[in-house]
Amino acid sequence: MAAFLRFTLLCVFAVVLRATDDPLAVAIGHAKAHPQGDVPASFVAADYRGDLRDLPIGVFDSGVGGLTVLEALKAHDRHHNLTGADGADGVPDFAGERFVYFGDQANMPYGNYSAVGRTDFLRELILRDALFLLGRRQANGTKPPVKAIVIACNTATAYGLDDIRAAVKAWGIPVIVIGVVEAGAQGLAETAEGAQGGVAVLATVGTCASNAYPKAIAKVTGRPVRQLGSASLAAAIEGDPSVKTPIRDIIRADVGAFLKSAAADGAAPIDTLMLGCTHYPLVADEIAAAFAYWREQSDAAGRKPYAALVAPRLKQVNPAAWTAEALWRSLRGAKMMAVTKPSSGDQFFISVANPQWPGVGLAPDGTLAYEYKYGRSPNQVGREDTINVPMTADRLPGATAGLVRDKLPLTWRSLQGAR
C-alpha cells in the first residue's frame, strides 16, 4: 500500500510539474508576480483598472510582414464614423486611434519552430510579444500599454491566440485579442463572389503544420483546402541574408512543387488563394504570376498538366482587411473606441540580438545564430537574449524598405515620423 501511495504521489507531482512548466502557466505566473511591470515580460496591473478607451492598439508579428495588417487598419473604411452604420464615409474607421507595432525580427521566422520540435518555445515567444505590448518597458525609454492586441502573424495566431486569450482572462484585464486566421476564414466566406472551387492556402511551414486555416475554413464553408507551406519565402521578404535565392524564384519553385503534388493527388481545381502569411501581400503579384506561369507550362507530350487545375483568374483573399473589420466590430461592441484625439503618433519597435546576454549565440552579422535560435527551450519567459528597440525606416533592409514604401504608403508615412 505504501508503495502504491508513493507511486500515486509521484504521478500527481509529475502532472503538476508538467502543468507548471507549460509556457502559458509560466507566463501567467511571471506577470502576476511582477504587477509593477518592472521586469521583462510583465506589465503594470494598475494600467488596466481605469478607462482604456484612449490607449493605443497593439499589433505584433514575427517581423515586418504584420505591417500589411497595420496598413489595412489604417486604410479601413467600411462604416460611418459617427453612427457606426455600414458604408464608407471617406474617413478611415480607425482615424481616431493610434498604434504600437512590434516585429520580433530577431526570432523570426516563426514558421520554422514547429519543424524543429520547438513549439512550446514558440508559444513562449508569442506570449512575450503580447506582454511587451501590454507593458511599458523597452530598451530606450517607455511605451504606453494597449487596449487591444492584434496578432498580425498567421503562425503566431495558430499557435498563440488561445494562449493570449487565456492569459488575458487569467490576469483579469479587459484587453481585446484578434487573430488573422479566423478573420481570413470569415473573409473567404463573405467574399466568395462565385468562387466555389478549391482554396490554396499559402503560408509558412509552421502555419500549415498547425492546420489552423483548414480548421477555420471548415467552420464557415465546405470548400476543399490544400496548403502550400514555404520554408524560406517570409525570410526572403524580410531581407534575411541567409536566403540567397531571389524571391521570384522561391515562389515559382514552391508553386511548381505544390501543383505537381496536387495534380498527382487528383486535387480539386483551385480558384482562390488565401494569403496565409502577412508577408505575402507584399509579393501578391509575383504569386499570381507564378500560378499563371505553371498553368501555361507544357510537358514532354505537349500537354498542359496544370491548365485544368488552376483557374484562369484566381481570387486572392488577404486576411488583413478582415482582421481590421473584426477589430472594429470588437472595439465598437465593447464601447472601446478612442474618445480623445491622439496627442502623439504611432510607435514602432523591433527586436534585435542582445550580445550582452550570457551564452547567446551570434552569427557573424550580429543576428542570432541558427543553431542557437532554434535550439532554445521554454520556461525562461524573462530572458533577454533579444531586446526591443525603436523601428525606424533606416533599420529595415533595403529591399524590405522598398516593398513597404511602395506598397504600404500609409504605414510608410507613419514610420517616417516615428522616433
pLDDT tens sequence across 174-210: 999 999 999 999 999 888 766 688 999 999 998 999 9
Residue 4 has what pLDDT? Answer: 44
Q: Does the pLDDT of residue 141 top 70, yes or no?
A: no
Shared domain for 242 and 167, answered yes or no, is no
- Examine the domain organization and report whether 133 and 193 are in the same domain: no
- What is the pLDDT, as a whole number, of residue 3? 46
Question: Active-site positions?
Answer: 153, 277
- Contact (Cβ atoms closer than 8 angstroms) between residue 141 and residue 53: no
Give the pLDDT confidence score for residue 342 in this predicted structure.
Answer: 81
Over range 77-98, report the average pLDDT: 94
How far is it, in rounded angstroms, from Cα 184 to Cα 278? Answer: 11
Would residue 330 count as lying in a domain?
Answer: yes
Domain shared by 30 and 109, yes or no = yes
- CA atoms of 400 and 275, how far apart (whole Å): 18
Q: Are 134 and 27 in contact (CB under 8 A)?
A: no
Q: What is the mean pLDDT of residues 380-388?
A: 93
Give me the number of domains the chain comprises: 2
Residue 412 lies in a domain: yes
- Per-residue confidence (pLDDT) for residue 343, from 0 to 100: 74
- The reply to whether 9 falls in a domain is no
Q: What is the pLDDT of residue 402?
A: 87
Confidence at 400, pLDDT banded by 50, 70, 90: confident
Render pLDDT for 108-124 as a digit per residue (tens, 0 to 9). 989 889 889 999 999 99
> What pLDDT band is residue 20 in, cutting at 50, 70 and 90?
low
Residue 88: the pLDDT is 95
Average pLDDT over the chain, rounded to an integer: 90
pTM: 0.86
In a domain, 290, yes or no: yes
CA distances from 226 to 107, 205, 267, 272, 274 (A): 28, 13, 8, 11, 10
Please say which residue of 286, 319, 352 terminates a domain.
319
Looking at the fold, whether 149 and 202 belong to one and the same domain comes out as no
Beta strand extents in 182-264 (DSSP E only): 198-204, 225-230
Residues 6+ apart with CB under 8 A from 417: 345
Mean pLDDT for the stretch of residues 36-53? 95
Q: What percent of the chain has pLDDT over 90?
A: 77
| pLDDT score at 14 | 38
Helix then strand then coil, % of the chain, to nearest 5: 45, 15, 40
Residue 85 lies in a domain: yes
Check residue 135 and give left, alpha or beta (phi > 0: left; psi -120 to 50: alpha).
beta
How many angstroms separate the CA atoms of 185 and 276, rounded?
A: 10
Q: What nine digits make up the cell of 410?
A: 500609409
Determine the pLDDT at residue 18. 45
Cα separation of 263 and 287, whole Å?
A: 19
Residue 107 has pLDDT above 50, yes or no: yes
The answer to the question of residue 2 being in a domain is no
**Confidence class for position 13, pLDDT limits 50, 70, 90:** very low
pLDDT for 140 equals 64
Residue 177 region by backbone torsions, left for phi larger than 0, else alpha for psi between -120 and 50, else beta: beta
341/224 same-domain check:
no
Rounded average pLDDT over 316-341: 94
- Per the model's pLDDT, the better-predicted residue between 241 and 39 turns out to be 39
Identify whether 116 is part of a domain: yes
Domain that includes residue 235, residue range:
183-319
